Structure 1
């Protein structure tokens, strides 16, 4: 690996900003100082730029294997680093579902040759694979994913005995998708009986706030009963916030929560313009829900921000509401969206770093990543806060070739991304040279 020297960067890390140089050697941050003069293979002049820890996205769907007409690890990992995301954790509802240790390891082998970003993959849980789940190595796998709501394949876990078994026996982090299936089915039946045709505006009413709260409250009750390390993904309602604490340090929390970019940016008022292209599960709900989630991010009730990046083709998303799949691409523009919040004085740079890097590393106990520290892996992103960037089809790197942010002009740009000490993105260009590394976890 080459030696990289970054000069005069404004470093944002652990609640502070300072101008300093950073020397990277053999993938590791070797030295941080006000002035470094060392022979280097590459010197980056970062004067006027801000240096942040690379984002760690704890929830993406890169669709490989089995659904690669929508997305794949090669394309989506490059979209990630172009947006300043240096590490991702990918979901098990690919085809086949990652429900055995062998199928899970297959995904790691694919990433080892195709991913330009660092990677980890969740082990999937079903109603009948507890023995496989319990074989998961907590030091090399980010977590176990439980769909307590509808999913593809054999991944809906709705058997009470199975849930008791998972929550009582799994010794590592369990991440959940929480929507109550029965409530959704009842809502859907009611709307189908009342209307000739369902529309996108009905989506947050069918996949309702009640469905989310019922499922999330069930998950937290199970976690409290068994002392489980629980992480609830993509909180979408104000009601669910009462289930989480903000009065203890993150490292003492057994139950944590995640918010996603789309639930912080959009509300149900945007369905009229965006239609199925902002159809997600859980649904984007009211402005009140959005604003409450945003406040919960700021006050520590919600611990991390992620994307739930989940591409579908334009053709699939253009179908009528009831036939269009849920999900969309976000990983390339997540940091820029958050930097727009910074420009709007809704968040500080320090808060962005905390919620996208520091806290994710702490929640998952990621080994030597998520902070700008000597001895840590060099996962870094340089941003120009005052260089506008307009999203267009020509600069979208996700395989699906669309974005809910298309035609939006962000106020900031990503200039450089470094993954495990390798410069992989510079001023709009991917640098094809190396693969990312498998994330490891500092767990007993």
Structure 2
């Protein structure tokens, strides 16, 4: 007997519309969507979604789950559970683990870990370095999300700073090349200036001045210029400045764009005014910048110059975060709270639910050619999230699922609550509880 679940009375959000109706799931797949569905089988599980939105599971195109090698901070199992609690059903994880994912062998080792432990659907990016072009050319684009280049400082040898190498990589692969853009020389010069003044204990408020607008713009404009020259398919991660948004166009449909951009939830939520209260808990690279930058990022997102919303989930322990400025690592945990933060922005009138779903669910699927996910459509995998828009809750230590045990949103009350998350047709999360179901599968790509 096929396993069936019937979601009744839902406000279904898909492709720019909200439609009231029912969704029938059979095994892993959305079998039927209609205004009213009745099923004769006594075995069907019925979920009443009255008053709630049903959206496709969010596809997060940028996370750091710290496995292998950095598992005191996080691992694929713990963070994929937190992701489900946050309505993220698929994630693409980054290569700067230890060892780094810069050989095909190390990439396959990560896939093997995820196959055993991931509660959400998964893929990984392959990491480019100054000297691994041979390995890049071995990667099968049908089975891997894409290529990640750090064009600003990174751990180990992952900084790609040789212009000839960058051009060679851009010219040699058809994969989506995702880039972290910050100019290393600019950052080093700024850091030296403040170290001279303060030593290692630089005030956190200087972070967006050290990792400045100029550092971001120099790097992203160079990457875009090179992509235009070589015809590479470029995706610029985590825009943080209003100035950079002028580098992107909204004149072409996403499926035809060669140069795309992402913004992360923290750059849409926080500004430099929050450093005084939050300190290193909101120390990210690129840095959270001014309220004006934040407004311009929102504007570019709504105008379709920015294509995707993601998290850049990058946990560190509280002990690591409590170091002085030069020793406190950048990054913070976000997957559990990103979607409810976006719904909070909806309540504030900043974004419609339809647009939110476009940027967090549909567009990552289009951009990375993810197969049969990112939509509420018949024949697609049943990765679905039920969001109650009027069910307030407060983030606190007791309901945080990250292995690191903290969140930059602690103390925040969100109006919306994720009540159910389905992965491949299985209910995997329900009302603050991750169920004992490992339904995650390796993402596949239509390429």
Q: In the aligned structure 2, how far is the partner of 1:406 from the partner of 1:434?
A: 28
**Aligned residue number for residue 297 of structure 1:** 301
Q: In the aligned structure 2, how far is the partner of 1:86 from the partner of 1:434?
A: 12
Q: In the aligned structure 1, how far is the partner of 2:425 from the partner of 2:98?
A: 33
Q: What does 1:243-392 align with in structure 2 at a 5 Å threshold?
A: 243-392=247-396
User: Aligned with 2:440: secondary structure?
Assistant: coil
| Residues 306/280 of structure 1: CA separation in 2 closer, same or farther (3 Å cut) | same
CA contact (8 A) 1:235 1:257 kept: yes
CA contact (8 A) 1:97 1:154 kept: no
Q: What does 1:36-75 align with in structure 2 at a 5 Å threshold?
A: 36-38=37-39, 39=41, 40-75=43-78
Q: What RMSD over aligned residues (CA atoms) do the two structures have, in Å?
A: 0.9
CA contact (8 A) 1:114 1:435 kept: no
**Aligned residue number for residue 7 of structure 1:** 8
1:59-99 per-residue CA deviation (whole Å, 9 max, x = no partner) reads 00000000000000111000000010000000000000000
Runs of 4+ in 1 over 3 A off after TM superposition: none
1:294-313 per-residue CA deviation (whole Å, 9 max, x = no partner) reads 11111101000000000000
**Aligned residue number for residue 424 of structure 1:** 428
**Aligned residue number for residue 440 of structure 1:** 444
CA contact (8 A) 1:51 1:383 kept: yes
Q: In the aligned structure 1, how far is the partner of 2:95 from the partner of 2:74?
A: 14
Q: In the aligned structure 1, how far is the partner of 2:49 from the partner of 2:3?
A: 18
Q: In the aligned structure 1, how far is the partner of 2:122 from the partner of 2:194?
A: 41
Give me the TM-score of the superposition, normalised by structure 1.
0.99
**Aligned residue number for residue 238 of structure 1:** 242
Shift of 1:37: 1.4
Indicate which of 117, 121, 124 corresponds to 2:120.
117
Q: In the aligned structure 2, how far is the partner of 1:407 from the partner of 1:128?
A: 45
Q: In the aligned structure 2, how far is the partner of 1:256 from the partner of 1:171?
A: 15
**Aligned residue number for residue 159 of structure 1:** 162
CA contact (8 A) 1:311 1:328 kept: yes
Shift of 1:41: 3.3
Indicate which of 207, 215, 219 corresponds to 1:203.
207
**Aligned residue number for residue 88 of structure 1:** 91
CA contact (8 A) 2:371 2:444 kept: yes
Shift of 1:353: 0.2
Indicate which of 117, 126, 130 corresponds to 1:127.
130
1:83-131 per-residue CA deviation (whole Å, 9 max, x = no partner) reads 1000000000000000000100100100011110000000000000001
CA contact (8 A) 2:117 2:438 kept: no
Q: What does 1:186-201 align with in structure 2 at a 5 Å threshold?
A: 186-196=189-199, 197-201=201-205
Shift of 1:241: 0.9
Shift of 1:435: 3.3
**Aligned residue number for residue 216 of structure 1:** 220
Q: Which runs of 5+ in 2 are unaligned?
A: none
Q: Which runs of 5+ in 1 are unaligned?
A: none
Shift of 1:156: 0.4
Work out the number of aligned pairs and report it: 443
